[in-house]
Structure 1
């Protein structure tokens, strides 16, 4: 058994470091973010001390000045920061690899600058193979709108906004707040502008051609850069891509079933390892143990759909009836969870499931199987459970609010999928009654509430690999909740990608401890080719 009551800082960091396509929470005014330091004019680099999240000893940090609007190069300028980790073996250096961790809104400094660790307590979430860090300068450009570049300031609280109007016109609320703090900046937050920032950093570093690594949303950013600047693109790795035509309401809507499936995968794994975690021998039994923790923390139970019942979930006297009887239990479990949640909220004023730190961490963690063991230890009590203050400290409340608002503006500025009015009742029911975090992101976007009041005006880039000298490599997981496998085809077709199908759970495939995937990506980066088309899933621990 693991040591009792050990803490799990690695688990707290997972969402920030490796979860692309993150959930957008409701906006909060918060404090104004610190402005970015001044950069040298004209694309020259100002070298500076790295921020605290950069722990790699070889890392170098700098920034450049770039136009707020690239179609107005002489207009207002912003600052864009970046981290570069020089190749550990200069004699073996093959070039520069630019990377993005996803989001939109993922912290680029942490993606490469946190070094390469084992993903455990205090270690880096990403586990970059030695060949990568030995042979490439690893460069990550902090996206515009985030702390480290010129941050979007949404600290103003617009007047005249009651809670109902804010729920129904979420996008307009955020835009008004952000325009007050950073006039003219809100419509400059989009993938096209960020790709042009990469081009400015490439030129400032003096690199003729760069290789690209995009995780999740990073696949859209890197494929956009490669489409706009094919002559400066060498290799392109697309890790966990999605259909760009589904941006963004469709992408977020697809995640609801994906996350529920990932939760059920986690519960199944814990049940299969009952000898270690002692939470139950069936997924439903583990769900009930997990639900009891959520009730203890929040006063009400989770309402996410339970996993299907198995014969072992039936009372001993009914197990003779077999799986058909278990199927009847499954049919009643989902509605029962909803009713129990509603009843407990009515009888326990102020009880909201989303206040449970364990529920919040579960939603963050299920896409990352290398953290499932730590999550199971929180549930069974062998690790100390964090409270709400621990979560706030882990994610830096002000920086998280800035990233959340930046993310929303990017997504709504380039939304290509119309709202579904039929989803509005479910969104309101979830927002005002159940508060189910497994439903909230999808419902907020598909209903149109997330982007209500924002008219998409970002340049639409129909990505294409036609101009590339080397065919891109694309990695896709069969049980990925955030970029579901069935949606990867259009990106692969548009870019002409060679696809490696990874059989198993988890979002993000490269740098996640999967030796087969890591070896195939390194082969591709070195040679421009790999014959690998399938790989087993990453280790689960």
Structure 2
């Protein structure tokens, strides 16, 4: 299954665990306040009353299942939003989306925040702790709803067979045509299973999801709310504010993927920008530069060498009694590094060890991530392919991806450049997924006067630091911030970004960005 450049936060968590425990060298793997409401004369807290919005209906009920323990659900108000699977057939099949409303910690502002998850295919209710770790619910209730097809929705269009294939493929050459054929076969098998269960694969896309959120606001009786989207959630947020601007007070987007740019091609640009940020930071730090000189050249040389002569090694992974075989080729190294950017401090050392004939650290991280129980059955491949195959691939060719890769990394062999980072065999997968192309208007630039906070990370190798300023140029009341030395989705890792975000929702036209002045580059690990 392709890994969307909008980065899946659980993959990052697995990588963080691995690198934090690098000495072992193994990846281990009450009542909500009344918001600004259309019916503010009533007194029931948000999420405790059934309401209808057109063909959608909210019903209070039990809190959703989540992929990880979520203590905040003990005090949340929960329920489900029932919507048409396909709004072109409003009286046809219905689906349900799980809703959790986490109350504010202290004073309660009248307008809540709605969280748009990444992916595409991640579940918002499984990202609750990520949001709360950043103090997002300090002053406001935060509304989480599973995007259609995700883990806590019904149906959940997950594909454990694809996840299992990705684990089994550790021992295969990533870019080999035979690997591609097996990948596409797994994709087709999942589609056939979901269709056999009655799902309409063409109904899982950003346009339908944007309408789901518009319906949710009305069904909850909220007059005005704020939107915060991360990664793919920024693509969805920009589309939502263009198609359904009613009732939106402000919008925050972090790890920006504008719909007009979303493609395999842009992931090559992102990799170039984010990785160059890490290489340049090492070069500017005397201890790192002295120990790991010419890091950029070393990385590109390793990609060429491994693509010509893949290296096979065996590693041990907790929970797996048998040793695991891992093949490292050029494409695998690129994929590893785009995610390893989340803990940039260890990148130079890992690349240096590989250059000196020791692939263990990188291989252990790769295997730990793919073989973790958390890697199986959590991502909605149905939503991911619904977005990729209707909104991305119809508007770019495989040749476009290759040309973009060649512009970003002219020294890489064509066999590496043919598969964008994290998106191997995407066009072939989309031919198997077989959904109609979205109208070209889905890729229009969003022009809006809604106050918007546009956050990017200087080390973002998944959606590109430059994508933030690109999106901000057509948002007339945007505050554009690039947080240096941080990878994709700065809210997850940067206390400064968290502070800027909460101040933005307090005063959307004048957030406090003063913390940026004190930020320092990471202290890169120096091997003895």
Shorter-chain TM range is 0.5 to 0.7
Of 372, 376, 382 in structure 2, the residue corresponding to residue 398 of structure 1 is: 376
Superposed displacement of residue 98, structure 1: 0.6
Residue 364, structure 1, aligned to residue 339, structure 2? yes
Structure 2 residue runs without a partner (length 5+) = 1-7, 17-49, 163-175, 315-324, 406-411, 524-528
Task: Report the equivalent of 2:480.
Answer: 499
Structure 2 CA distance, aligned partners of 1:444 and 1:359?
Answer: 11
Contact 1:142 1:148 in 2 (8 A): yes
Structure 2 CA distance, aligned partners of 1:488 and 1:49?
Answer: 33
Give deviations 1:54-76, integer Å, cap 9, x for gaps: 42333444322211012322110
Of 126, 131, 138 in structure 2, the residue corresponding to residue 134 of structure 1 is: 138
Of 99, 118, 122 in structure 2, the residue corresponding to residue 106 of structure 1 is: 122
Alpha carbons of structure 1 residues 500 and 204: separation in structure 2 relative to 1, 3 Å = same
Task: Report the equivalent of 1:414.
Answer: 391
Of 479, 491, 507 in structure 2, the residue corresponding to residue 527 of structure 1 is: 507
Task: Report the equivalent of 1:15.
Answer: 12
Of 251, 255, 274 in structure 2, the residue corresponding to residue 240 of structure 1 is: 255
- Please report the RMSD computed on the Cα atoms of aligned residues, expressed in angstroms: 4.9
Task: Report the equivalent of 1:69.
Answer: 86
Normalising by the residue count of structure 2, what TM-score does the alignment of the two structures yield?
0.66
Of 129, 132, 156 in structure 2, the residue corresponding to residue 151 of structure 1 is: 156
The residue correspondences of 1:77-96 to structure 2 (distance < 5 A) are 77-89=94-106, 91-96=107-112
Normalising by the residue count of structure 1, what TM-score does the alignment of the two structures yield?
0.65
Superposed displacement of residue 156, structure 1: 8.2
In the comparison of the two structures, how many residue pairs are matched? Answer: 435
Structure 2 CA distance, aligned partners of 1:361 and 1:531?
Answer: 35
Superposed displacement of residue 498, structure 1: 2.6
Structure 2 CA distance, aligned partners of 1:156 and 1:346?
Answer: 24
Contact 2:278 2:485 in 1 (8 A): no
Superposed displacement of residue 84, structure 1: 2.0
The residue correspondences of 1:121-270 to structure 2 (distance < 5 A) are 127-129=133-135, 132-149=136-153, 150-152=155-157, 154=159, 164=177, 167=180, 174=187, 177-182=190-195, 183-258=198-273, 260-261=275-276, 264=279
Residue 509, structure 1, aligned to residue 490, structure 2? yes
Of residues 484-493 and 235-244 in structure 1, the stretch that sits farther from structure 2 once superposed is 484-493
Of 40, 44, 57 in structure 1, the residue corresponding to residue 59 of structure 2 is: 44
Superposed displacement of residue 15, structure 1: 2.1
Give deviations 1:447-490, integer Å, cap 9, x for gaps: 84453454652343335344x5x422212334422222333344
Task: Report the equivalent of 1:451.
Answer: 430
Residue 342, structure 1, aligned to residue 358, structure 2? no
Give deviations 1:272-292, integer Å, cap 9, x for gaps: 469xxxxx72255xxxxxxxx
Give deviations 1:365-403, integer Å, cap 9, x for gaps: 313558879989x9999x999577743464534314x43
Contact 2:116 2:144 in 1 (8 A): yes
Alpha carbons of structure 1 residues 486 and 498: separation in structure 2 relative to 1, 3 Å = same
